[in-house]
Amino acid sequence: MKRIAFIGLGNMGGPMAANLAKGGFEVVGFDLSQAAMTALEQAGGKSASSAHAATEGAEVVISMLPASQHVESLYLGEEGLFAQLSAGTLVLDSSTIAAETARHVADAATAKGILFMDTPVSGGVGAAKAGTLTFICGGSEAAFAQAKLVLEPMAKNIFHAGDSGSGQIAKICNNMLLAVLMAGTTEALALGVKNGLDPATLSEIIKQSSGSNWTLNVYNPWPGVMEGVPASNEYKGGFQVDLMAKDLGIAMDTAISSRASVPMGSLARNLFALHAQKGNGGLDFSSLQKLFAD
Amino acid sequence: MKRIAFIGLGNMGGPMAANLAKGGFEVVGFDLSQAAMTALEQAGGKSASSAHAATEGAEVVISMLPASQHVESLYLGEEGLFAQLSAGTLVLDSSTIAAETARHVADAATAKGILFMDTPVSGGVGAAKAGTLTFICGGSEAAFAQAKLVLEPMAKNIFHAGDSGSGQIAKICNNMLLAVLMAGTTEALALGVKNGLDPATLSEIIKQSSGSNWTLNVYNPWPGVMEGVPASNEYKGGFQVDLMAKDLGIAMDTAISSRASVPMGSLARNLFALHAQKGNGGLDFSSLQKLFAD
Amino acid sequence: MKRIAFIGLGNMGGPMAANLAKGGFEVVGFDLSQAAMTALEQAGGKSASSAHAATEGAEVVISMLPASQHVESLYLGEEGLFAQLSAGTLVLDSSTIAAETARHVADAATAKGILFMDTPVSGGVGAAKAGTLTFICGGSEAAFAQAKLVLEPMAKNIFHAGDSGSGQIAKICNNMLLAVLMAGTTEALALGVKNGLDPATLSEIIKQSSGSNWTLNVYNPWPGVMEGVPASNEYKGGFQVDLMAKDLGIAMDTAISSRASVPMGSLARNLFALHAQKGNGGLDFSSLQKLFAD
Amino acid sequence: MKRIAFIGLGNMGGPMAANLAKGGFEVVGFDLSQAAMTALEQAGGKSASSAHAATEGAEVVISMLPASQHVESLYLGEEGLFAQLSAGTLVLDSSTIAAETARHVADAATAKGILFMDTPVSGGVGAAKAGTLTFICGGSEAAFAQAKLVLEPMAKNIFHAGDSGSGQIAKICNNMLLAVLMAGTTEALALGVKNGLDPATLSEIIKQSSGSNWTLNVYNPWPGVMEGVPASNEYKGGFQVDLMAKDLGIAMDTAISSRASVPMGSLARNLFALHAQKGNGGLDFSSLQKLFAD
């Protein structure tokens, strides 16, 4: 049985670590919140007094942290984990961060003989709990072969996007496109309703036509059209506008540094920023519908 | 066996009329092109010397014409068909035109006791030939019940969107969203490729994630990623940029007259207009990929 | 002394007609509002019981109406003024309407030997009252030479843009650009203020740099920065959001019919539409600042 | 006579240093290019073998460098100038960099008793040569009082935007708005010309109307309309698309980190990025006109 250190037991990391424990791994977690660690213990894992303590004896380290600086701080420098981990340890960072940072951390890992992959996820808290996340991995073939075995209890899909950083690039391409789908769908539904159509009928027609997309299929943004989605629960739960705005910020940075033109994604970012500025940052991102509704 | 007059036997109307003939209807067609009428005869239909002649004895009239003015000219005025058709005739206009025009024509029909529906289609020439079009119908429940029986040989899906004009509204909402999906997908793929990803791998990842949409599923815009689509055939065939631009023009008119805000659809329209202006109007609309590729 | 018939004595037409009367012309006005006609009488003009009555004996006809259909209805058809006016009459339409309509009306005038120009204005109610409007004229050189003499009491600038319809085209190009200037200026000011700058200082710096534009120079949108502008009067008065939206609708129609790409103007239209939809249609168009302010 | 060290003698820094020398200051310059140093000597300045050598005995240091990392590298760290400069030295950085970096460098200066201001410029190479730049300064009132005396030989306008970093914020607000003005102006001119107007006539009309802005006033983007601008010289010279793209990248970073919505500026960035990607990065930024011209 493999021993896994899991750093970052928040809304996403907590259920992910729990699923690993249920999947038969020996999981030792660390988080700044004692409540998060207690929850892991109840799910069959153990907790440690520090990130360093959690990784003692671990063959695999997984991290799920808020942003680039947390990842750099965890792994790099004299106090970082890379200074202590054995060569051959597999390190998987599932945080959504800049590809540039992921590549930089991967280089530092390689210098120590550590196998590092960026393994950001798609799917949100619901999929984290259900063990049906999509993992998008960047790194070597060898690392990917090992990573798959570890990620399985948490995953529905595990993709190998390419070299280091590729997981992050694919993730933000996906999320930028998701933002475009959501923005486009909300304004199209509003246009139809303004012109006399029923939102459920219109949704059904488009779903079965060429405008079909993930948001209409499983995440309809119009209140009352689909059961069990945030739109039918006052836009609570789901994927917050502020988190979408964070991912779009990373996407824009990537576009700027690679001199790419992404007019649709940029416009979507600005619409979500406008929506957040009006006090909706804590709502699910499908609440963009409110921007276009009368 | 019902007798159907079919007016407009172009790229779309021709195969539609042929499928009706194969489906057991007695089809009498009219088109300004003799070649189009000969093709219908070879498919088992008949041709007539004028639109008026075609409708003699017909219980159903179907039209498939380029734009609003052609539809108005066919049906309205002293020379129009409504002046001659018997009360109770079912008239189905499958042209993509302004909802306002559709409502205006429907009102004129009602005044004569004629049953009129706007029945625009989604699916393109391929679906017209295969008899797998999606029909989006606007008009009364009674008209829809009759229309379904007639449209079946040409259709995979037949939707009732609502009252007169609703078919057109739903159609342009769908096509505006399709333009957004295509524009967003092309720029997202280009961003990924610029940052080192393989377009096929990236497409596969997004298809199975939350960025999934019709264009990635069945119409991938990157050359060589998917077989049998225009992108893998030098963007020939398919749905021309100029036709998408026409539909987006109708969508914009609808948004302007209903004072709706459709920023994503408007940006997509301008990107397609830019692309057309650079000489790509005759290519398939997935050729927008060229705008963002290096 | 020339006799002028003035049709349409609203917020713009009223003061324009008054200035003509003060300028020594014999002005006979007509409007559906009796109050508007009384106001003209107080300014030294006369009123008539109908548009036809107003034009009796007039050498010049000027109209200032809300939209294309009013202009067509006034001049065309069996009941229209062109059926009655003497050949050689000079007709100036200062309404903001589609160039296509202006050309169509001009053709009808020419067929009767009437000299027609589209003469839309820039400057708003303040300039109408002050007699400092900018007239942008489309039509023949001969018509322009005569028009200048008539327009002078109402004008600061009188431009000849080109042939029939050119006045309307130039007007909507100007107003589309104005919408872009205002939208760009409001978001730039908000960005600066969010990052700690004083709006008045930032306005002054940009005004004297390469971001300088009409809105910063004479129409600052940030409350309190400039005296005597709508922004310092709760966005009352000035040029209403709904009127800007109307002009942008004409600009978009022109872009669609000429297959032009106008991404900036289109985005501006959608921002103003969003702003109007949130209940701000009756405010001055500089109130778009509220969309971007915290 | 004050002694000034000038670091960075490129297209901008070279003529700026020369004007200081002509203005009576003792200027000691340093650049990696020997040719640049020779040019300064010919203008009456001196050169040094390193940045450190240039600052010996200097009361004022001015830097004009390409990007944030160059500025950090020049001033910070053990090898940086701040480790050596005397307390009380006035340091003016005219580079266009992130406000965050400017604030960070200013803090480091303050810790050593050095007076630091961010003093980015507006106006381009022409104004640098003519000594008519606009300086936009961020820092204390005390530093500004001293800075004015030094900047005068290079300046037409010297603004105090606010505290440290404010100069950079005001600069990128201005340049973002400039990009919006240029993009809006180019598409408006193209719309007019597509509809039959003469570009010079249309430019003149808008210049005297509410669409008036810096680009029409002094930098007309349509070839042949205005003499002496890049548009009339095959878009050579001026302010390169790539440099505008760099400034827009900084503006976007600022918007993302301050969660501001800047839809117009973002769209302009993407249009310039598209234009650069098609091989126009080395042309003047008014060449965006080519994107919209037939």
> What are A86-109's pLDDT values in tens digits?
999 999 999 999 999 999 999 999
Q: pLDDT digit string (tens) for D16-33?
A: 999 999 999 999 999 999
Percent of chain B with pLDDT over 90: 96
Contact D22, D50 (CB under 8 A): no
Q: Looking at residues C108-129, what average pLDDT do you find?
A: 94
Query: What is the ipTM metric for this complex?
Result: 0.95
Chain C closest-CA separation from residue B81 CA (Å): 25
What integer pLDDT is reported at residue C237 of this predicted model? 85
Model confidence at D1: pLDDT above 70: no
Q: pLDDT digit string (tens) for B230-288?
A: 999 999 988 999 999 999 999 999 999 999 999 999 999 999 999 999 999 999 999 99
What integer pLDDT is reported at residue C125 of this predicted model? 87
Which tokens go with B205? Answer: 């990842």
Smallest CA–CA distance from D260 into chain A, residue: A273
Contact B3, B57 (CB under 8 A): yes
Host H or E run for residue C211: none
CATH number at residue A157: 3.40.50.720
Q: Please, what is the Cα angle at C91 between C86 and C94, to 5 degrees? A: 160
What integer pLDDT is reported at residue C1 of this predicted model? 60
Which chains neighbour A (Cβ–Cβ under 8 Å, 3 or more pairs)? B, C, D
**A117 and A197 part of one domain:** no
Angle between helices B166-194 and B263-275 (to 10 degrees): 70
Q: Looking at residues C165-178, what average pLDDT do you find?
A: 98
What integer pLDDT is reported at residue D126 of this predicted model? 87
Contact A137, A160 (CB under 8 A): yes
Model confidence at B1: pLDDT above 80: no
Q: Looking at residues D118-136, what average pLDDT do you find?
A: 93
**D57 and D139 part of one domain:** yes
What whole-number distance in Å separates Cα of residue D7 and Cα of residue D82? 14
Q: Looking at residues C258-282, what average pLDDT do you find?
A: 97
What integer pLDDT is reported at residue B121 of this predicted model? 95
Mean pLDDT of chain C: 96
Q: Looking at residues D240-261, what average pLDDT do you find?
A: 96
Distances (CA, A) of A200 to A238, B161, C95: 21, 10, 42
Smallest CA–CA distance from D257 into chain C, residue: C195
Percent of chain A with pLDDT over 90: 96
What integer pLDDT is reported at residue D63 of this predicted model? 98
**A111 and A76 part of one domain:** yes
**C285 and C150 part of one domain:** no
**C195 and C285 part of one domain:** yes
What is the Rg, in whole angstroms, of the alpha carbon atoms belonging to chain D? 20
Number of Cα atoms under 13 Å in the Cβ half of residue A281? 12
Chain C closest-CA separation from residue B264 CA (Å): 9
**A127 and A220 part of one domain:** no
A202: confidence class by pLDDT, cuts 50, 70, 90: very high
CATH number at residue A205: 1.10.1040.10
Of D120, D141, D164, the residue that ends a domain is D164
Full domain range(s) for residue A68: 3-163
**pTM score, two decimals?**
0.95
Q: Dihedral of CA C139/C141/C147/C152: which sign?
A: positive
C35: confidence class by pLDDT, cuts 50, 70, 90: very high
Q: Dihedral angle at the C-alpha atoms of C61, C62, C66, C70, nearest 10 degrees?
A: 10
Contact D193, D199 (CB under 8 A): yes
Of A163, A193, A209, the residue that ends a domain is A163
Chain A closest-CA separation from residue C279 CA (Å): 9
Interface of B with D (CB under 8 A): 263, 267, 274, 277, 291-292, 294
**A115 and A198 part of one domain:** no
**D239 and D276 part of one domain:** yes
- Residues of C with CB below 8 A from A292's CB? 274, 277
Q: Looking at residues C96-106, what average pLDDT do you find?
A: 96
D124: confidence class by pLDDT, cuts 50, 70, 90: confident
A1: confidence class by pLDDT, cuts 50, 70, 90: low
DSSP bridge partners of C98: none
Which tokens go with B115? Answer: 């049953």
Q: pLDDT digit string (tens) for B193-241?
A: 999 999 999 999 999 999 999 999 999 999 999 999 999 999 998 899 9
**D53 and D173 part of one domain:** no
Minimal Cβ distance to C294: which of A267, A277, A291: A277
Q: pLDDT digit string (tens) for C125-170?
A: 889 999 999 999 999 999 999 999 999 999 999 999 999 999 999 9
Q: Looking at residues C63-81, what average pLDDT do you find?
A: 95
Structure-token match 């234009």, residue found: D275
**Of A87, A104, A90, residue with least CA distance to A145:** A90
Chain C closest-CA separation from residue B255 CA (Å): 9
Which tokens go with B190? Answer: 């280009």
Query: Count of domains in chain A?
Result: 2
A123: confidence class by pLDDT, cuts 50, 70, 90: confident
Q: Looking at residues C229-252, what average pLDDT do you find?
A: 95
Instruction: Supply the residues of D annotated as catalytic.
Output: 171
Q: Looking at residues B47-70, what average pLDDT do you find?
A: 96
Structure-token match 């505290």, residue found: D163
Catalytic residue flag (residue C171) = yes
Q: pLDDT digit string (tens) for B84-125?
A: 999 999 999 999 999 999 999 999 999 999 999 999 999 888
As a residue count, chain C comes to 294
Instruction: Supply the residues of A annotated as catalytic.
Output: 171
- Residues of B with CB below 8 A from A230's CB? none
Q: Looking at residues C168-183, what average pLDDT do you find?
A: 98
Model confidence at A255: pLDDT above 70: yes
Alpha-helix residue ranges (DSSP H) falling in D152-233? 166-194, 199-207, 214-218
Q: Looking at residues A110-123, what average pLDDT do you find?
A: 96
What whole-number distance in Å separates Cα of residue B32 and Cα of residue B45? 16
The percent of chain B in helix, strand and coil, each rounded to the nearest 5, is 55, 15, 30
Q: Looking at residues A27-56, what average pLDDT do you find?
A: 96
Contact C142, C113 (CB under 8 A): no
Which tokens go with C10? Answer: 């609203």
Smallest CA–CA distance from D269 into chain A, residue: A261
**A8 and A143 part of one domain:** yes
- Residues of D with CB below 8 A from C176's CB? 184, 188, 191
A294: confidence class by pLDDT, cuts 50, 70, 90: confident
Minimal Cβ distance to D259: which of A256, A271, A276: A276
- Residues of A with CB below 8 A from D263's CB? 267, 270-271, 274
The catalytic position among C171, C236, C246, C278 is C171
**A157 and A221 part of one domain:** no
**C190 and C217 part of one domain:** yes
Q: pLDDT digit string (tens) for C190-225?
A: 999 999 999 999 999 999 999 999 999 999 999 999
What integer pLDDT is reported at residue D69 of this predicted model? 94
What whole-number distance in Å separates Cα of residue C197 and Cα of residue C210? 18
Give the three-state DSSP class for C90. Answer: strand
Which chains neighbour C (Cβ–Cβ under 8 Å, 3 or more pairs)? A, B, D
What integer pLDDT is reported at residue A269 of this predicted model? 98
Of B164, B189, B210, the residue that ends a domain is B164
Distances (CA, A) of A147 to A8, A24, A117, A135: 18, 16, 8, 10
